[in-house]
Structure 1
Amino acid sequence: MNALKLLFLIPLFYSEFSQAQRIDKEIISFQLLKEPVFPTELSNRNYTITVKSPYNITKEDVVRLSKEDYQRKVDNYQTNVENAKYEHQERLKDYDAEVKKLQEKYKLESAEYSKLSAVEKIAATNGAPVLRLPSRPIINIPPMPVYQQPDLKDALIVDNKILASQMDVTGFSKGGNYLDIVIEMERTNFQDNQGKTFANQPTRIIAKQGGAVKLDKTYFSDFAEIASVPTNEINLNAQEKRYLQRTMDRTRNIINENFGYQTINSTVTLSTVKNKGEYDDLEKAYIYVTTNLKKLQAKTDYAPNKVAMENMQKGIDIWKSALTKVNYNDKKAPYNQKIGEYLYFNLIRLNIALGNYQEAEKYLNELQEHLVDIKLSYDANLELKRLEEKIYNN
């Protein structure tokens, strides 16, 4: 079942009634042990991770850079004042020209208005001309720079050892080098585009398993939007700190997808018809599936799991066989559209829970072909959409 193993299951029950058919639902909570793309023998599950990046920043570096930035502002202050005065004079020239233009326009309009008769003046939609002048530009002299201690909370104080300590491989012990991983990172790159801030941080992951290269790929090269304002309106230190953490989290996820043994919490809802007699086979199928789900253990190459999976398949085969008996046009038939609905939902839910997305998609497509005959309730329609999203977003 796509190398997914179950740890434990906790059943909860509730029922729904449809005509003479009593359908019970069991909500099962369980854990999946998801095996990686590149499996590792249990005795070899040890790792070492090395991070190579430009980050080697201490508290002292942050203070030093802050003082250097302050000194640059002091050195440039007089130039900035002169630039402000020059820009003010240029704005005054533009202002005087605009005022002169508006005054001339007002003079012409007033002369034309004075020629109108009293009746024409009353009929004029805009009334008498009004002189409206813009505000006179005000000089904006920048304030003298004032030194402020840097906010170490937002400071990017980090080095390669700290970054490496944030990494782990689930199911492995730290130390040893059977799995040898090197992470090569660039600094976060910021980019302005249409008034927004974008960032990327190309990161190469090189992983050797027993000396053989299993993964060598560069990720996160595409720029992603991180702010709806340009870079000069954001705290770049805080943004880089946040983006670096995001890159580390995504890197850890990729490493564990490929090599880690991850436990995933999940639930599955399974239904059965409780009426005696005509539905004994379906009750038997339900017992096969649920009983053997509970026998599975989150262990790799665990022999009892194989037996449990084979017995669970017997129940699945009964469900599949029952689908061929469904009469979608006769509501009074023992195997009517309601039975078909719950069988399809069981097969879709179970296969999604076990990670068999292709098999789940197969039964989803079959169910959708019968939706002309099967009238789903509002809740069933919502669940079907959620199941479809799980299949296609996987």
Structure 2
Amino acid sequence: MKKLNLFFSIVVFSQCIYAQRIDKETISFQLLKEPVFATDLANRNYTITVKSPYNITKDDVLRISKEDHQRLVDNYQTNVETAKIEHQERLKDYEAEVKKLQEKFKLESAEYNKLSAVEKIAAVNGAPILRLPSRPVLNIPPMPIYRQPDLRDALIVDNKILASQMDVADFSKTGNYLDVVVEMERTNFQDNQGKTFANQPVRIIGKQNGAVKLDETYFSDFAEIASVPTNELNLNYHEKNYLQRTMDRTRNIINDHFGYQTINSTVKLETVKNKGDYDDLEKAYIYVTTNLKKLQAKSDYEPNKVAMENMQKGIDLWKSALTKVDYNDKKALYNQKIGEYLYFNLIRLNVAFGNYKEAEKYLNELQEHLVDIKLSYDANLELKKLEEKIYNN
């Protein structure tokens, strides 16, 4: 009888371990992201001024291109003479090297000829061979030919254009209750260990009704933009792209502090469906998904507050479940598989809400456990995409 009981308990336990059924659902939701500094609806008007070194028109690009070409033409004859002088120097070096090799060959041949027939056969390197380097060729630089610049890569921009790319969500441009000044440096490129890095410091000053609410400098740290040095890059192209990235990030910061942003988002969430063993996780999933669907993009909307509070109950259950996970025991009720789906849920949800610092916290925790959690190819791919979203915002 005892043997039967033991067998039965083993069978039931193994079903719990190996039959963990993870279900997925993609949920769409809408949310109004409140700013750091609130503004009454009646006062939601703004002006943005950009101060930067950029003041380049199409005519400037064409003019600079022609000036560069003319400079090449003016220097052409000098470059030809320089090429001839350098060629003569290479010829001298070549002739000296040839003479040296010929003398060496002559000496080695004389020594070789002194050997007997048997010694010649036994010689490891055989008879000396005269190997001469190629004779230097005179390379005359081609005559410069003017080519119309590709305006698609040109950095045609001025402060008015830059300011026009900025907006504050749910504000109108009918006044200056919110007055924002953006002071921007030009993109700085830097070589480091064969790679190209860039930064573009931006100071953002935001005033509400004349009172300074924000005065910070951002983007001072250098970031890698290419795995080759600057002399191998089209810097105009890269500066244009980097400037656009800086503008996008600047706009996001302004809106995080002052704008009322409607977030239209989707999030994929998972739950384990085994009845009995994971009822708390099922309850957490219901809390989160049900209340996500109730959210609406409205300011000071009481049902949103209730939904967020109820959603937090589910999140707290997920966080509590993480403390039960045994990453070293595949047979544990809360094993690596459970830990993986809980971490992914918490990371996905925080990314969907724009809570990137919180998402990064769970990302770091998950990465510490990746020695024990064996992610699938698809999970690895998704994790990389989530990581990019976290660190690029």
| Normalised-by-shorter TM-score class | 0.7 to 0.9
Q: Are 1:184 and 2:183 counterparts?
A: yes
Map of 1:4 onto structure 2? none
CA distance 1:226–1:43, shift in 2 (3 Å): same
Deviation at 1:99, TM superposition (A): 1.0
Check whether the contact 1:25–1:272 (CA below 8 A) recurs between aligned residues: yes
Map of 1:337 onto structure 2? 333
CA distance 1:222–1:319, shift in 2 (3 Å): closer
Cα deviation digits, residues 350-393 of structure 1 (max 9, x gap): 6862568769979x989x99x9xxx98976x959x959x87x96
CA distance 1:98–1:189, shift in 2 (3 Å): same
Map of 1:226 onto structure 2? 225
> Aligned partners of 1:264 and 1:44: how far apart in 2?
25
Q: Are 1:30 and 2:20 counterparts?
A: no
> Aligned partners of 1:158 and 1:299: how far apart in 2?
37
Cα deviation digits, residues 180-238 of structure 1 (max 9, x gap): 21112222333444554443333222222332222222233334443444444433332
CA distance 1:33–1:270, shift in 2 (3 Å): farther
> Aligned partners of 1:359 and 1:223: how far apart in 2?
23
CA distance 1:64–1:290, shift in 2 (3 Å): closer
Amino acid at match of 1:337: L
Map of 2:123 onto structure 1? 124
> 2:269 aligns to what SS in structure 1?
strand
CA distance 1:71–1:214, shift in 2 (3 Å): same
Of stretches 235-244 and 313-322 in structure 1, the one that deviates more from structure 2 is 313-322
Q: TM (normalized to structure 1)?
A: 0.73
Map of 1:266 onto structure 2? 266
Greater strand share, structure number:
1
> 1:96 aligns to what SS in structure 2?
helix
Check whether the contact 1:270–1:350 (CA below 8 A) recurs between aligned residues: no
Check whether the contact 1:57–1:158 (CA below 8 A) recurs between aligned residues: yes
> 1:213 aligns to what SS in structure 2?
strand
Map of 1:150 onto structure 2? 149
Check whether the contact 2:346–2:359 (CA below 8 A) recurs between aligned residues: no
Amino acid at match of 1:202: P
Quote the RMSD (CA, aligned, Å). 4.6
Q: Are 1:307 and 2:306 counterparts?
A: yes
> 1:173 aligns to what SS in structure 2?
coil
Map of 1:5 onto structure 2? none
CA distance 1:22–1:43, shift in 2 (3 Å): farther
> Aligned partners of 1:130 and 1:28: how far apart in 2?
75
Cα deviation digits, residues 25-66 of structure 1 (max 9, x gap): 451413344333333333333322111122222222222222
Map of 2:10 onto structure 1? none
CA distance 1:235–1:288, shift in 2 (3 Å): closer
> 1:137 aligns to what SS in structure 2?
coil
CA distance 1:321–1:113, shift in 2 (3 Å): closer
> 2:295 aligns to what SS in structure 1?
coil
Deviation at 1:77, TM superposition (A): 1.6
Map of 1:57 onto structure 2? 56
CA distance 1:205–1:19, shift in 2 (3 Å): closer
Deviation at 1:145, TM superposition (A): 2.1
> Aligned partners of 1:48 and 1:212: how far apart in 2?
15
Deviation at 1:307, TM superposition (A): 3.4
Check whether the contact 1:348–1:360 (CA below 8 A) recurs between aligned residues: no
Deviation at 1:290, TM superposition (A): 4.2
> Aligned partners of 1:247 and 1:358: how far apart in 2?
23
Return 5+ residue gaps in structure 2 as ranges: 1-14, 326-331
Map of 2:345 onto structure 1? 349
> 2:146 aligns to what SS in structure 1?
coil
> 1:253 aligns to what SS in structure 2?
helix
Q: TM (normalized to structure 2)?
A: 0.73
Deviation at 1:325, TM superposition (A): 11
Amino acid at match of 1:53: S
Map of 2:204 onto structure 1? 205
Cα deviation digits, residues 62-92 of structure 1 (max 9, x gap): 2222221122122212211221111111111
Map of 1:134 onto structure 2? 133
Deviation at 1:112, TM superposition (A): 1.0
Deviation at 1:102, TM superposition (A): 0.8
Identity of aligned pairs, percent?
68
Deviation at 1:345, TM superposition (A): 5.4
